[in-house]
């Protein structure tokens, strides 16, 4: 009688291979989710920083507080340098879209009349 040759498996069994593959999939999936969350968080931070910058720029062009005179008529005898500085500020406000053309022309006329 002949004996059958016994083969010995080397390496993990089928179930072991499935376990290794499943663990690898879980780790990869977890890392991908973490990367997506990091990217979303970075985008939110960038959006908030952009909003803050916009608010800072808008605050630069905000009208003066009510305690100060709102128009240059309250300061008779302004020097030419003061008038030029105010006209430049008005030009910046118009360029930024804060003032309309009519508002710009009215303020310009009042500065030049003073």
Give me the pLDDT at residue 72, please: 47
> pTM here?
0.34
Give pLDDT tens digits along the chain (114 positions). Answer: 678 877 766 666 767 777 777 877 888 888 888 888 888 899 999 999 988 888 887 777 666 666 555 554 545 567 888 889 988 988 888 888 888 888 889 988 888 887
- Residue that is written with structure tokens 């006209």 in the block: 87
């Amino acid at each position: 009688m002949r004996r059958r040759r016994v083969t010995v498996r080397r390496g993990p069994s089928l179930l072991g291979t499935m376990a290794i593959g499943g663990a690898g999939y879980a780790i990869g999936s977890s890392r991908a989710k973490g990367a997506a969350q990091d990217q979303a968080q970075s985008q939110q931070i960038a959006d908030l920083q952009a909003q803050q910058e916009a608010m800072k720029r808008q605050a630069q062009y905000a009208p003066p507080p009510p305690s100060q005179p709102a128009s240059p008529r309250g300061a008779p005898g302004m020097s030419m340098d003061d008038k030029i500085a105010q006209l430049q500020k008005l030009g910046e406000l118009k360029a930024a879209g804060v003032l309309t053309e009519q508002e710009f022309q009215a303020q310009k006329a009042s500065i030049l009349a003073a």
